[in-house]
Amino acid sequence: MTTDSESLRERAAAALLAARDRTRLLTTCVEDPELVAQHSPLMSPLVWDLAHIGNQEEQWLLRTVGGRDALRPDIDSVYDAFEHPRAERPTLPLLGPAEAHGYVAEVRGRVLDILERTPLHGGPLLDSGFAFGMIAQHEQQHDETMLITHQLRQGPAVLTAPEPPAAPGISLPSEVLIPGGPFTMGTSTEPWALDNERPAHRREVAAFLLDTAPVGNGAYQRFIEDGGYEDPRWWAPEGWAQVREHRLRAPLFWRREGNQWLRRRFGVTEPVPPDEPVLHVSWYEADAYARWAGRRLPTEAEWEKAARHDPATGRAMRYPWGDEDPTPVHANLGQRHLRPAPVGSYPEGQSPLGVHQLIGDVWEWTASDFLPYPGFAAFPYREYSEVFFGSAYKVLRGGSFAVDPVACRGTFRNWDLPIRRQIFAGFRTARDAGPDAPSTL
């Protein structure tokens, strides 16, 4: 990556523009009443996300980086995610759709002017245009959140996208051996990496076997058909309690009709495709499936070693395929498609050891709690990551079809509560390799 300041500026401007194009799509494809409505108590009204995107941009880029006077300090509190849980956001004095669109456009106009005039060095917020990259990632993360809201929304389809590529008809081995030995986890050099991805540090990982691809719907159906949701042996106690309380028997959005499973996907009901990674399962469902299969979820360190460690050089790469930014041949990212791609669809995205689809398609639940790396320092604000550290949240890795490349890399960490099912999450499983397995180094 070049660090020439004009190209950094172009990169920042392009990232902001791409995020805004997507935000506009997600907030103009429905009528105004649908923007203001709350489609699920788990989500904000779309119009809250829209103005929250602008408010974060105002706070960080206009006020902090640009040193300009505040534009709408009166609305900071309404769009503070910590002051107001999602369920209560519809009752707040929100900007209406037209006002919210006008507000984000006004902020953006000033921010592009600031980007032109600001040196992209001289401190951690400015270096390599970090603050601009952080805000582009923030907007893209809310775009994914808004896409989840669209998936929860009732009514006919409003979003369309081309189908993902068909998988080449080659059969893959079911699992891949990842040799034991140390690797470098996290990063101290990726310019737009967020605080929780830092710093780079060595980790010892024992040899293990990892599924070549995420668990597919067909395999998950065998768990269901084998009585997986009726047998407490497979479930963590809290997971079993959730199964009982909500009478769970399949992933969210699935419905049984006769002897077929159907699912609703962005307003369309269709048969569940067996070769596609399973989606909309909680951490508890992933954990139960793995136990039923005689396996376990990979730890976060195992996942990252599989995704980044190059056994030929001993070096940690940015992505499974190398250091090159993702392109459409590498991974299903960026909402180009409105679904995960069949297993085996991205041979060019595989890791040196032959693990497929680590990046894109579905977020992958890991066994790990969301914890800071040794040497972690909150930056630029504690509420991005630090306040979430602890045992309440589980880490997800790899990004989904709904994640933009700007917010996806081998080091990127996402987290959520283990009960959550509306997010675009699936999983893959692992097992220990045992004492005779090979080791690097």
C-alpha dihedral (373, 378, 379, 383), degrees to nearest 10: 120
Tokens standing for residue 130: 């970090």
Name residues whose C-beta falls within 8 Å of residue 85's C-beta, 6 or more positions apart in sequence.
none
Q: Please, what is the minimum distance in Å from the beta carbon of residue 224 to ligand AVJ?
A: 28
Q: Please check if 416 is assigned to a binding site.
A: yes
Using CB positions, name the residue nearest to ligand AVJ: 141
Q: Confirm if 124 and 6 have CB atoms less than 8 A apart.
A: no
- What does the per-residue mask of binding to ligand AVJ show for 285-324, with x meaning CB under 6 A? ----------------------------------------
Q: Which stretch binds ligand AVJ (CB under 6 A): 17-25, 106-114, 141-149, 241-249?
A: 141-149
Rounded least distance, CB 175 to ligand AVJ, Å: 29
- Are 421 and 286 a contacting pair, CB within 8 Å? no
Q: Find out whether 315 is annotated in a ligand binding site.
A: no
Q: Which of 55, 351, 414, 429 binds ligand AVJ (CB under 6 A)?
A: 414
314 residue type, one letter? G
Looking at 279-408, list the stretches that DSSP marks H as alpha helix, in order from N- to C-terminal side: 283-292, 300-308
Q: Interface with ligand AVJ includes 44 (CB under 6 A)?
A: no
260 within 8 A of 271, measured Cβ to Cβ: yes
Please identify which residue in 23, 44, 141, 400 interacts with ligand AVJ, judged by CB under 6 A: 141
Bridge partners, residue 395, by sequence: 415
Length of the chain: 441
Is 420 one of the annotated binding-site residues?
A: yes
Say if residues 284 and 419 touch (Cβ distance below 8 Å): yes
Judged by CB under 6 A, does residue 138 bind ligand AVJ?
A: yes
Closest separation in Å from C-beta 213 to ligand AVJ: 24
Per CB under 6 A, 23 contacts ligand AVJ: no
- Return the residues of window 341-400 that contact ligand AVJ according to CB under 6 A: 384
121 labelled ligand-binding:
no
Counting contacts by CB under 6 A, is residue 217 touching ligand AVJ? no
Interface with ligand AVJ by CB under 6 A: which range of 126-134, 140-148, 231-239, 322-330? 140-148
CA distances from 346 to 162, 302, 343, 355, 365 (A): 16, 21, 8, 11, 20
Q: Which amino acid is at 124?
A: P
* 415 scored as a contact of ligand AVJ (CB under 6 A): yes
SS3 assignment, position 203: strand
Is 138 labelled a binding residue? yes
Measured at the alpha carbon of residue 142, what is the angle toward residues 136 and 148, in degrees to the nearest 5?
145
Q: Which is nearer to ligand AVJ, 141 or 149 (CB)?
A: 141
Does the annotation list 86 as a binding residue?
yes
In the annotated binding site for Fe cation, the residues are 52, 138, 142
Binding residues for gamma-L-glutamyl-L-cysteine: 86-89, 416, 420
> By the criterion CB under 6 A, which residues form the site for ligand AVJ?
138, 141-142, 145, 384, 414-415
